[in-house]
A and B are shown apart, each in its own frame.
Chain A
Amino acid sequence: MTAIALPVLPTDAPVLRERGQREVFCGLTGIVWLHRKMQDAFFLVVGSRTCAHLIQSAAGVMIFAEPRFATAILGERDLAGLADCNDELDRVVGQLLARRPDITTLFLVGSCPSEVIKLDLSRAAERLTSRFFPDVRVLNYSGSGIETTFTQGEDACLRSMVPVLPAAPAGEKSLLVVGTLADVVEDQFTRIFDDLGIGPVRYFPPRRARELPAVGPETVAILAQPFLGDTARALLGRGVRVLPASYPVGVDGTLAWLSAVAAEWLVPEHAVARATAAPLRRGRAAVARYRDRLDGKRIFFFPDSQLEIPLARFVQQELGMELVEVGTPYLDRTYIEADLAQLAPGTTVSEGQHVDRQLDRCRAARPDLTVCGLGLANPLEAEGLRTKWSIELVFSPIHGFDQAGDLAELFARPLDRSARLVV
């Protein structure tokens, strides 16, 4: 395996576009990992009791006394008059910031109800920033279900930060890695970039919202997550160049991703090979451990996080699995081509969802493994299908060489369990 960037090919394979009931979270759910990543940020959803209930049901982080997210629940009086609604929002934000002096960035997060009543959160954010800056910067984005699906919430959040990123000093070429990664994965990538002499490397989102990465015309960005199209386009507007590459999922994906950066920095191939040799060998060995169990097995992806296409590429290429259907909630071709082009010809890719029809297809196909959300997993298990919770693939560190084996194991475990059980 040589360390070259994978070719970026246009794909014209037909995509099955579906419209109907979607069994997918809305963008508010991204708060679950974003608030853990940026530990000095607070997320205030302006929405309904449903929004509050969604986040707490999805997050289940009740172990924290006072989490860094909350909901300003709209009441009947707020719906009656928008002027009062803005006053109320100012009051709630004041109350919140008085309680949490550790917060440096506050995100006002729009929801379905706030969008429908046309509550202008961008003006509210400006108004509140002028009141609280420099102690607190107030930003806004929408995580509403009528506009965003699950991971698009992170895209909208990062997009809202792009205009306030500081300008990079002229003449300083830097790398910006875009998309939330586990800290440990960032550290692994940083070590490899150091070995390759690539730097400075900055991560976006940063670990502290106050320490925003600087960007400018000499910044080169690479996406670490496949759901950040709007953020990428906003970065282009700041003069940043965005490198096309496969996503760093699995050994091959990680190698291609790193190689794309290395090529941009004119690092010779042999240097890339040297710097990646040890983790690459480990990653291959770790993945190989599961390949026997998964080779030839048939897998069906329900739409969830937009990670489906890179994951499908990984399970097909590195684990030998056969793709029955690859569902994605939203297909933004600009930044997914490198992975999409590597799927076997004839693979069914579906965008959007009509959950009942998709369940019909899944039942008819009887795949060996179905990757789906929590609302579907137990019912499908009860029908005798083996399932993998897709959300685990979002919350677990799966990127990079040293996580490739863990990722393979996530797919192998349901089959392993099924093989063990005799009840």
Chain B
Amino acid sequence: MQLTVWTYEGPPHVGAMRIAMSMRDVHYVLHAPQGDTYADLLFTMIERDAVRPPVTYTTFQARDLGGDTANLFQDAARDAFARFRPSAMLVGASCTAELIQDDPGGLAKALALPIPVIPLELPAYSKKENWGASETFYQVVRTLAAPPTPIPARAPRAVGTRPSCNLLGPTSLGFRNRDDIVEVRRLLDTLGVDVRVVAPLGAAPADIARLGEADFNVVLYPEIAQTAAAWLKRTYGQPTVTTVPIGVGATRDFIAEIGRVAGIDAARVAETSRLPWYSRSVDSTYLTGKRVYIFGDATHVIAAARIASEELGFAVVGLGTYSRELARDVRAVADRLGVAALITDDYLEVESTIAELAPELVLGTQMERHIAKRLGVPCAVISAPVHVQDFPARYSPQMGPEGANVIFDTWVHPLMMGLEEHLLQLFKDDFEFGNGATPSHLGHGSGVATAGAPVVAAAAAAEPIVAEPIVAAPVVATPVSVPVSSPAATPADGARWTPDAERELGKIPFFVRGKARRNTERYAAEQGVASISVETLYDAKAHFGR
């Protein structure tokens, strides 16, 4: 039993959902109780997906437990096939269904559906989300890309044809995966390499069946695709490119590895990222030796450590990951940098480590962003778990030349703002800087307004039930920038606030309080009210209502 406040990863069946949602023509029938459908909103809200995840939940209840939950599962699978007509079906159990041991795989097989049915065994009490995604992708590949026996010998590539590869690993809810694919495709095209299949993101079962046709595989996210790529290597003899092209140096290494594996001359590809010059320009001198702490999934932490130390001239003071499966690789990086690696999924441990190390910049997940905000340290997000902000409208990859540009801007920007913060401190007594002014990167008032919060909070954070909004409540806060002038209970030439009314005003969220005060005083002046009571406050609210 583990006491957990926040968790970096969901359960393994959420990983399976990410694979199902990534693909086309696949449906996942999940044996699960009511409530597990919460996971749908990760996709529809965080990623703003315009379609529901292709998942059917059996929704069993307590009263079903003594009875026939197996039948319930079979009905759900049969109905899902009839309604959605997928080309392949994933079947499995969430944590509760695992305990009742209904064997979804066997039950689905008994239905004899005319499509491949892929049973998933995802132990919910020992494994987590990325493991579940990796295992699901592996099972999908094994089932759908199973070769004929005997495997036909690989014919050498015909002269004059371009080498080809598959891109493996990008998924729904992955950190900037959508844009990374575009960038890596562009890079490979420049190199003269064709991309046959990208999987799982955007792939249909028929595409998975073609994986063996490519000359080699590129693993963009080892957390998801390492296992499947190893199987493809064993089965089809396809080599695997393992360098993850995040950062200028890693992109160069990636190009070189592609050249070796594809047997092409890759040296002619010109450097296109601005990062090297920007980093060498004198303006960047102030970045030198900035103390940075890094935490996230293994892929992004390893990449970030190299960029921070080699390409931006930061001092990495510590790093860590929640990806236990890749802990060894992260430890190796930490050893090279002479710092300790923290391998944990305990958020509080990460927080205390950051507090102790007192870095000047945190590169982390949305969780570290909150830690950094509380500690008043600048932060840039580099890794999942994701938040709606991690799906920007603009093109914003992490990989390749453009990815390096994006990373330069994203990491350096909070530090620029750090300078602004310094100036604010310096000039805080200046009349133009109200004491409510905060550095712009910390958002308005650094709390509720930028509430970093998954989904429901997007609805709820602005006005939690005890936030006591009075002013016609902007429920999803559009934070009104209110210079918080020192509260004068008596305006120079206006009505006087009664203590009750003043207290009531205090219950209004700070970011609209100033507006409420001004409106009420304006209303009192217009109505010739000399003393502002609680009633006047509400009358004014009604008067000015949206």
Contact = CB atoms under 8 A, between A and B. Distances in A.
B35 A378 contact: no
Given A116-B65, A392-B459, A53 B10 contact: yes
Contacts of A60: 451-458, 460-461
A144 B62 CA distance: 9
Interface stretch (B18-26, B94-102, B104-112, B213-221): B94-102
Interface stretch (B39-47, B141-149, B331-339): B39-47
B456 A58 contact: yes
Contact of B545 (A36, A72, A405): A405
B465 A36 contact: yes
A21 B476 CA distance: 29
A318 interface: no
A91 to B, nearest CB: 8
Interface in B256-298: none
Contacts of B538: 279, 282, 402
Contacts of B9: 49, 53
Interface string A235-259: 0000000000000000000000000
Given A60-B454, A92-B3, A21 B36 contact: no
Nearest to A188: B538
Nearest to A207: B466
A57 B470 contact: no
A210 interface: no
A60 B468 CA distance: 19
A79 interface: yes
A63 B447 contact: yes
A375 interface: yes
A116 B31 CA distance: 14
A406 to B, nearest CB: 5
A286 B457 contact: no
Interface string A35-79: 011000000001011101110111111110111001111111011
A79 to B, nearest CB: 6
A405 B470 contact: no
A394 B460 CA distance: 9
A62 B452 contact: yes
B61 interface: yes
B431 interface: no
Contacts of A88: 1
Nearest to A112: B96
Contacts of B454: 56-58, 60
Contacts of B42: 57
Residue among B11, B41, B472, B534 with the highest chain A CB neighbour number at 10 A: B41
B544 to A, nearest CB: 11
A262 interface: no
Interface stretch (B50-58, B198-206, B398-406, B418-426): B50-58
Interface in B1-36: 1-7, 9-11, 13-14, 33-36
Contacts of A95: 3
Nearest to A96: B3
Contacts of B1: 46, 72-75, 78, 85, 88-89, 91-92
Contacts of A234: none
A374 interface: yes
Contact of B468 (A54, A74, A144, A184): A184
A199 interface: no
B277 to A, nearest CB: 37
B367 interface: yes
B37 A22 contact: yes
Contacts of A146: 33-34, 60-62, 65, 96
A63 B14 contact: no
B37 A23 contact: yes
The majority secondary structure among interface residues of chain A is helix
Contact of B11 (A48, A85, A409): A48
Given A32-B456, A376-B44, A48 B7 contact: no
A377 B62 CA distance: 28
Contacts of B467: 182
B463 A397 contact: yes
Contact of B37 (A21, A56, A180, A410): A21
A190 to B, nearest CB: 12
Contacts of A59: 453, 456-457, 460
| Most chain A C-beta atoms within 10 Å of own C-beta, residue among B5, B56, B128 | B5
Contact of B541 (A57, A74, A389, A402): A402
B76 A21 contact: yes
Contacts of B472: 405-406, 409
Given A23-B40, A63-B448, A184-B468, A57 B65 contact: no
A96 B469 CA distance: 33
Interface residues of B, number: 92
Interface string B427-454: 0000000000000000000011001111
A184 B470 contact: yes
A395 B455 contact: no
B11 A75 contact: no
Contact of A379 (B11, B52, B447): B52
Nearest to A47: B95
A379 to B, nearest CB: 5
A20 interface: yes
A283 to B, nearest CB: 8
A213 interface: no
B374 interface: yes
Contacts of A389: 459
A2 interface: no
B248 interface: no
A375 B59 contact: no
Contacts of A112: 33, 35, 95-96
A145 B34 contact: yes
A151 interface: no
A375 B37 contact: yes
A378 B461 contact: no
Nearest to A23: B37
B328 interface: no
A165 B65 CA distance: 34
Contacts of A46: 1
Interface in A113-165: 113, 115-117, 144-147, 149
A24 B37 contact: yes
B395 interface: no
Interface in A6-29: 20-29
Given A53-B10, A63-B448, A70-B3, A410 B33 contact: no
A302 to B, nearest CB: 12
Nearest to A355: B37
A81 B49 CA distance: 42
B473 interface: yes
A246 to B, nearest CB: 21
A90 B317 CA distance: 37
B348 interface: yes
Contacts of A375: 37-38, 40-41, 44, 52
Contacts of A181: 465
A60 B369 CA distance: 13
Give the residue among B38, B49, B468 with the most A Cβ atoms within 10 A. Answer: B38
Contacts of A405: 472, 542, 545
A392 B463 CA distance: 9
B370 A66 contact: no
A182 B125 contact: no
6 contacts: A63-B370, A63-B451, A74-B125, A116-B96, A146-B65, A184-B504
Interface of A: 20-29, 32-33, 36-37, 46, 48-50, 52-54, 56-63, 65-67, 70-76, 78-79, 85, 88-89, 91-92, 95-96, 112-113, 115-117, 144-147, 149, 180-184, 187, 191, 278-279, 282, 285-286, 289, 356, 373-379, 381-382, 389, 391-392, 394-397, 402, 405-406, 409-410
Which A-B residue pairs are the 7 nearest by beta carbons?
Answer: A60-B457, A60-B453, A26-B35, A145-B35, A375-B40, A382-B50, A184-B468
Given A181-B465, A184-B470, 9 more contacts: A36-B464, A48-B95, A52-B7, A53-B11, A73-B3, A145-B35, A286-B545, A374-B41, A406-B472
